């Protein structure tokens, strides 16, 4: 089998589709630079696969950016397992009013995220190295996001101790989002869940809408621990 060398930093990012201007507005130049970083150093540093480069905009940047419609003005967001900065960096680009905390356990990825934040001058982003349980007590926010990290039942367990009362977990999912929510809903019982539903975002902009499972915490109960104790809680978090 013929071996091909891995793409280097000279690999070019695809041009943004026309709809990217509607999504990012005057922040599009920064979004383009982020795409270039992903296609170059992001690939060589292993934070994103080389096969993802041709579909950076449709599958990744725009897929994440449309989630901003679910975020109030000037809210604070924790992004669990931020990895390549999806959706955390994208949301920071699309919404400079947001305050983002990118939680990532892997040193290689936190170095990448720091590089991107510095390169793009994102003063609204803070990087926290660790798993979800490692940052408990350091920060709580009204919103926690996660993309391609874990099943929703695990995300609820990791996210709820990081949410303020009445806060929301926004889990970016694929085409099986409705099925996953139906299967995992019963496992939410130990936690103060007020509601859970699937949103389809960007249907008028994207070929494939972004599916987000929203799990809302009760405003009447502090989400720092389950309603009733459980043994053997998962110790994993992030990627």
Does a structural domain hold residue 57? no
What pLDDT is stored for residue 153 in this prediction? Answer: 97
Per-residue model confidence as pLDDT tens digits over 156-210? 999 999 999 999 999 999 999 999 999 999 999 999 999 999 999 999 999 999 9
Residue 141 placed within a domain: yes
What digits encode the pLDDT tens for the residues 76-87? Answer: 999 999 999 999
CATH number for the domain that contains residue 84 = 3.40.50.150
**25, part of any domain:** no
The answer to the question of residue 41 being in a domain is no
Residue 5 lies in a domain: no
pTM: 0.89
> Could you tell me if residue 115 is inside a domain?
yes
Q: How large is the average pLDDT for residues 69-97?
A: 98
pLDDT digits (tens, 9 = 90+) for 137-153: 999 999 999 999 999 99
Contacts of 49 (CB under 8 A, 6+ apart): 43
Q: Taking a C-beta distance cutoff of 8 angstroms, is the pair 20, 31 a contact?
A: yes
Looking at the structure of the chain, the number of domains it has is 1
Domain assignment present for 148 = yes
Q: Is residue 129 part of a domain?
A: yes
Residue 222: pLDDT over 70: no
Range of the domain at 199: 69-217
């Amino acid at each position: 089998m013929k071996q091909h060398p891995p793409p280097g930093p000279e690999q070019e990012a695809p041009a943004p589709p026309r709809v990217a201007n509607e999504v990012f507005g005057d922040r599009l130049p920064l979004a383009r630079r982020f795409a270039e970083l992903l296609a170059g150093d992001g690939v060589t540093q292993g934070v994103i696969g080389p096969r993802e480069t041709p579909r950076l905009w449709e599958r990744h940047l725009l897929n994440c950016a449309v989630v901003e419609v679910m975020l109030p003005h000037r809210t604070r967001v924790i992004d669990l397992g931020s990895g390549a900065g999806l959706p955390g960096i994208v949301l920071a680009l699309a919404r400079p009013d947001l305050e983002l905390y990118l939680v990532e356990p892997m040193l290689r990825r936190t170095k990448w995220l720091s590089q991107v934040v510095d390169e793009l001058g994102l003063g609204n982003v803070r990087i926290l190295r660790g798993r979800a349980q490692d940052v408990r007590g350091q920060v709580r926010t009204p919103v926690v996001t996660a993309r391609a990290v874990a099943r929703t039942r695990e995300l609820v367990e990791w996210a709820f101790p990081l949410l303020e009362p009445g806060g929301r977990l926004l889990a970016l999912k694929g085409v099986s989002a409705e099925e996953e929510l139906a299967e995992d809903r019963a496992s939410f019982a130990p936690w103060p869940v007020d509601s859970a539903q699937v949103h389809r975002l960007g249907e008028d902009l994207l070929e494939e809408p972004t599916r987000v499972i929203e799990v809302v915490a009760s405003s009447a109960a502090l989400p720092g621990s389950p309603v009733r104790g459980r043994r053997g809680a998962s110790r994993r978090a992030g990627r």
